[in-house]
Structure 1
Amino acid sequence: MTTVTEEFQFLPQDAALVSRSAHLPHVRRKNATVGGLNISTLHWTNEPPQYTFLHGAGLNAHTWDATILGLNRPALAVDLPGHGDSDWREDADYRPITNAAAIGGVLDQLTSGPQILVGQSLGGLSAIAAAHRQPQQVRSLVLVDITPGVQIDPKAPNPVKDFLAGPRQYPSREAIVERALTFGFGPDREAVARGVYLNTRVTPDGQVEFKHHLAHLDLFKLPTHDPLDLWASLQDLTIPVALVYGTQGFLNSSHLTEFQRYLPDAALYPIKGGHNLQEDTPSALTQALKDIERSAL
């Protein structure tokens, strides 16, 4: 069982990644109950959050630690349903439209004003659905390396799905780190080891398994989202929308052209990096978020 102290043991290293010299802010777990599910979050500082962060599939709220430390704003980072310390859904329905209901409940219970909603990958698609569902709770939307047009071909090589389709349990965390490195994940071993530690738990028989539900499911049988529905939701929004994307991420020129066709007034921010910009280049992502915040004022 991970203790609170152990959970936040990596914050000094995270702060160094974004050259933060100020003291570390107070951060704690806060939970919301939505539709019978416990949704766990990390609440940064004692002030009402201005930002709410949503992670990608197979990740958790800690993926944003360095970014939030660099941003230095009161923030809420959510463990999406089926991830981190949040409950798993019995129906294994983790589509954006389903996640949106949980996100809306979190915003209702744990925030006190419209948020800058930042979502990466699955979190970005879920952020679109959440902003459309409860627009009064969102003052601007930032998508990180995702658009509704990104479709994963089940027949094409995909390192994320291939990795998640691996063993359900491992003899040690180090075994997971070694496997992750063979897939090219993370900027270095230390970063991968941190991510694995925060995303796994030790079972009573001493085996190690991922906390998130996706590692225990057949990913090719899960419900999928309708991209046209999400494009329509995105177009309906009247708030500022920005897209931050990695130059080696999921988006290609066709995705970007499509995004600009649907949202010609949205701002685009390219960053040298991969799909998980919040882990690959948190300083650059932090600067982009600050620029976006200033431009929206």
Structure 2
Amino acid sequence: MTATDVPPIVLVHGTRFSAGQWSPQLRVLEGDFPVAAVDLPGHGARAAEPWSLDAATEIIAAATEQLDRGPALVVGHSLGGYAALEFARRRPELLRGLVLAGASASTKGAWAKPYRWVAGLVPRIPADRLTRWNDRLLRRLHPPEVVDATIRAGYAFHTLPTAWAEVLGRFDADAMRHVAAPVLILNGEKDTVFRSGEREFARAHPDARIELIPRAGHLANFDDPEAFTGAVRRFALHLPAHG
């Protein structure tokens, strides 16, 4: 693959986070790829914007077009993974490859019940208390160079109920049938909830494979940044040439 043919990469963060989630990946990928990390509506620099999958899709599309290198490899984590699935359905002409990280569980049926309960609970807890809990958790589990950008950007607790309300009940393995590009399902080995449907998701697509990050959990890009970034990089370099 020549330097002019490497795919642009768009990174899409997970629930309550922001583009800062991808600081460990950006530091490495920027040397080899055109790359952008976006803030979804209601998150980060877009905190004042109302959440919707429609708006999320347009933000991913705009980032791809601004990179101006053709269809992109879209890497979506958790909420961002489901937004990336919606983008793949609506804007297939802008998708060269898809990495689903922590987003290969059905959001339909009984699985969704505890998440609906959490989404209803979050608005009842003061945001400053949630922020302290999140800051302490991230600092206890990860080194500063991995999580400082996420902590500085703050958390979108106010958006969580609306975002989850739209995603829950909407996605299952059938969503993979709308993805017209190769797919890497990239999960933390210990992320038992969000990798629960990975085999069904992979079977629903003709060009999908599963890769696990050993000993990592749901935040696999924090738990082992080198392994996560390496998996994305390898997948990107093996995508078919555009056109």
TM-score interval, normalised by the smaller of the two chains: 0.7 to 0.9
Change (3 A) 1:219 1:163: closer
Change (3 A) 1:190 1:128: same
Which digits, 9 at most, give the CA deviation of each residue in 1:104-153, with x for residues without a partner?
Answer: 23333453411111111111111111122111111111111112514654
Task: Tell me which amino acid in the other structure corresponds to 1:240.
Answer: P
Give the SS at the match of 1:169: helix
Q: Give the C-alpha shift of residue 163 in structure 1.
A: 7.1
Q: Which has the higher contact order (CA 8 A, sep 6+)?
A: 2
| Cα distance in 1, alignment partners of residues 143 and 151 from structure 2 | 12
| Cα distance in 2, alignment partners of residues 99 and 261 from structure 1 | 26
Contact 1:51-1:74 at 8 Å conserved across structures: yes
Which digits, 9 at most, give the CA deviation of each residue in 1:45-66, with x for residues without a partner?
Answer: xxx9811110001111111111
| Cα distance in 2, alignment partners of residues 150 and 50 from structure 1 | 29
Contact 1:180-1:192 at 8 Å conserved across structures: no
Q: Give the C-alpha shift of residue 84 in structure 1.
A: 0.7
Determine whether 1:198 maps to 2:148.
no
| Cα distance in 2, alignment partners of residues 157 and 183 from structure 1 | 23
* 2:180 aligned residue: 238
Change (3 A) 1:291 1:218: closer
Map 1:144-183; keep pairs closer than 5 Å.
Answer: 144-147=101-104, 149-150=106-107, 153-155=112-114, 166-169=125-128, 176-177=131-132, 179-180=133-134
Determine whether 1:84 maps to 2:49.
no
Pairs aligned (count)? 230
Q: Which has the higher helix share?
A: 2
Which digits, 9 at most, give the CA deviation of each residue in 1:69-107, with x for residues without a partner?
Answer: 223322011011111112533xx443x454213322333
Contact 2:112-2:168 at 8 Å conserved across structures: no
Percent pairwise identity: 24
Which digits, 9 at most, give the CA deviation of each residue in 1:24-51, with x for residues without a partner?
Answer: xxxxxxxxxxxxxxxxxxxxxxxx9811
| Cα distance in 2, alignment partners of residues 180 and 199 from structure 1 | 12
Q: Give the C-alpha shift of residue 244 in structure 1.
A: 0.3
Change (3 A) 1:70 1:110: closer
* 1:292 aligned residue: 235
Which digits, 9 at most, give the CA deviation of each residue in 1:185-229, with x for residues without a partner?
Answer: 7623636861564223xxxxxxxxx4x2xx236728963236566
Which digits, 9 at most, give the CA deviation of each residue in 1:224-277, with x for residues without a partner?
Answer: 236566644421222111100001125467412321332253111100211112
Contact 1:150-1:251 at 8 Å conserved across structures: no
Give the SS at the match of 2:166: coil
Unaligned runs of at least 5 residues, structure 1: 1-47, 201-209
Q: Which has the higher strand share?
A: 1
Task: Tell me which amino acid in the other structure corresponds to 2:125.
Answer: G
Unaligned runs of at least 5 residues, structure 2: 1-5
Q: Give the C-alpha shift of residue 278 in structure 1.
A: 1.7
After superposition, the CA RMSD in angstroms is 3.5
Instruction: Output the TM-score relative to the length of structure 2.
Output: 0.76
